[in-house]
Structure 1
Amino acid sequence: MDPRILDRLRCPVCGDPLGQATDTGALRCPRRHSFDVARQGYVNLLTGRAPHVGDTAEMVAARADFLAAGHYDVISAALAEAAAQAVAGFDAYPLVVDAGAGTGHYLGAVLAALPDAVGLALDVSKPALRRAARAHPRAAAALADTWQRLPLADASTAVLLNVFAPRNGAEFHRVLDPAGTLLVVTPAADHLTELVDALGLLRVDPDKADRVATSLGAHFTPVGSTVHRAELALTRPEVATLVGMGPSAWHTDPTALAERLAALPEPIRVRVAVQLDAYRPR
């Protein structure tokens, strides 16, 4: 593992610094708590059993295909621009952490725009981390539950990304540098509305933005908010992939979805609409 990333990691059991064993490659702390590095490249820093296993291999594959096609590049570009502004005053090798990173697609895009930064993808899904470990040459990946204590040193992170993922305000605050920035992406009210109506998908909570701000308010101050939109023209298979990579995959009957999808004329016009909020630690 890149020593610039390893230096910021901490043992999830005792909080001591971690080093890499020369014999096995595992990460160990001075108290000899040891954490294996999977052959796919990610390290397991989870203690105990996670309350959930995260996205399935099918959902991860769907997300990887859809993102690789560039359909959500509007999100990647917005994050890269915001992250570049956020690290402007930092010394060499600022750390970018993606909490709930999935495949690491957005982390990779941010690192591509920040030639001096290093990155860490955190997720509870092993299929996602197998891809995140290869998201960028300057990135590492770790199995970790964002609802638990994050395996990072206090004030170690310059930019923390949170894209369509759970938010642990207290831990985000602990690991962020006092001058760091939390970048949160959530769906806007009109995100994918054409598919929601036509396919019976989950609707965006109209109070989503307020709930996010409230959940972070004890630890963070909002410093900026922007909405980013793009219009897509998708095939039926691409729409099926889009549904399969998101939360509706858990709640949609496959047969009913296929029937409704077959009735839609191609290309299927879809609006991407997301809100990007920037926060600074209080």
Structure 2
Amino acid sequence: MHPDLLPHLRCPVCGQPLRQADATPPRALRCPAGHSFDIARQGYVNLLTGRAPHGGDTAEMIAAREEFLAAGHYDPFSAALATAAARAVPRRVRSGDGVGGPVAYPDLVVDAGAGTGRHLAAVLDAVPTAVGLALDVSKPALRRAARAHPRAGAAVCDTWGRLPLADATVAVLVNVFAPRNGPEFRRVLRPDGDLLVVTPTAEHLVELVDRLGLLRVDPTKDARVAGSLAKHFEPAGQSTHRHRLQLTRKEVRTLVGMGPSAWHTDPARLTARIATLPEPVTVTAAVRLTHYRPT
């Protein structure tokens, strides 16, 4: 766990600060009350209490996502997110100690529902003064996210519940194709913080939806997202990003396997349908990036 992340973390049981246990190498985080949380050998810390309500994305889904993202297919989305984060962070400069005037200080970027951490890594590359924390309930995802960037750490938690973070500690909170917990996002964001939400538009993967029997983007999604955040945030800007992918049939299979349709698609039927697609397969990737600020 990166040492600059520790001041921001809180015990999920009692809410007290966490520190690394005295060991070489440290294998746990502990609070003053004695609650202890193991650090896996892959580098992530488990901050769940009790049984998780769900296991999150499976190892197979995460492997598919790692393969697809590593090919660069969604890099334009990562770049747009990184640009938005970089624009937000320079607004925050606090006074120094009176010796050298204003000084930069580490900002915390949190990716809630981070998956493999690829988007978070792009943000940290664009914001060299920041440290990042990947939150997800999927252990297979966090095994990769913990190694996604030298200034990133990773923690298992249920993002629908209370986040294991101090109040008003996050500078930028990123949420990409993941559940949104409005009250908790507001609690952990600083008053001058920024929430960046990426959601698919109705155009996203439209060429594959009917032909492969995939889940369709809810036409009311934008309204639902805005409604879930309205009590705690106000929109500060929005942009749409789309580009055309040229995929092999194998890459189409990987794309389907990394997303929610993987839970709802019969593998044999999917294989048969993919075999009928022309190659390369032209697919539209389209997302909406919405910038929110706390109310």
Tell me if TM exceeds 0.5.
Answer: yes
Structure 1 counterpart of 2:206: 193
What does residue 22 of structure 1 align with? 22
CA distance in 2, matches of 1:149, 1:59: 26
* Counterpart position of 1:102: 115
Question: 2:169 — aligned with what?
Answer: 156
TM-score calculated relative to the size of structure 1: 0.99
Given residue 225 of structure 2, which amino acid in structure 1 is its aligned partner? V
**2:85 is aligned with 1:72:** no
Return the offset for 1:25: 3.0
Matching of residue 114 in structure 1 with residue 127 in structure 2: yes
CA RMSD in angstroms, aligned pairs only: 0.7
Alignment of 1:118-157 (within 5 A): 118-157=131-170
TM-superposed CA distance for 1:197, in Å, is: 2.0
What is residue 88 of structure 2 aligned with on the other side? 86
3-state SS in 2 of match to 1:263: coil
Q: CA deviation at 1:74?
A: 1.3
Distance 2:81 2:265 in 1: 30
Partner of 2:12: 12
Question: Pairwise mapping of residues 226-237 of structure 1 onto structure 2 (< 5 A)?
Answer: 226-237=239-250
Out of 227, 240, 248, which is 1:214 matched to?
227
What CA deviation, in whole Å up to 9, does each residue of 1:87-129 have, x standing for no partner? 1122411000000000001001110111110000000000000
Does 1:255 pair with 2:257?
no
Counting matched residue pairs gives: 282
Distance 1:150 1:200 in 2: 35
Show structure 1 runs of 4+ deviating over 2 A.
none
Partner of 2:282: 269
Q: Specify the SS of the correspondent of 1:88.
A: helix
Q: Does 1:44 align with 2:46?
A: yes
The 3-state SS of whatever aligns with 2:8 is coil
SS, match of residue 90 in structure 2 = coil
Cα deviations across residues 191-241 of structure 1 (Å, max 9, x unaligned)?
000011211111000000000000000000010110000101000000000
Q: Secondary structure at the match of 1:195?
A: helix
Residue ranges of structure 1 left out of the alignment (5+ in a row): none
Residues 28, 36 of structure 2: 8 Å contact kept: yes
CA contact (8 A) 2:106 2:129 kept: yes
Q: Which moved more, 1:86-95 or 1:263-272?
A: 86-95
Q: Is the 8 A contact 2:27 2:40 kept in 1?
A: no
Cα pair 2:203 2:284 within 8 Å, conserved: yes
Identity %, equivalent residues: 71
Q: Judge conservation of contact 2:246–2:280 (CA < 8 Å) in 1.
A: yes
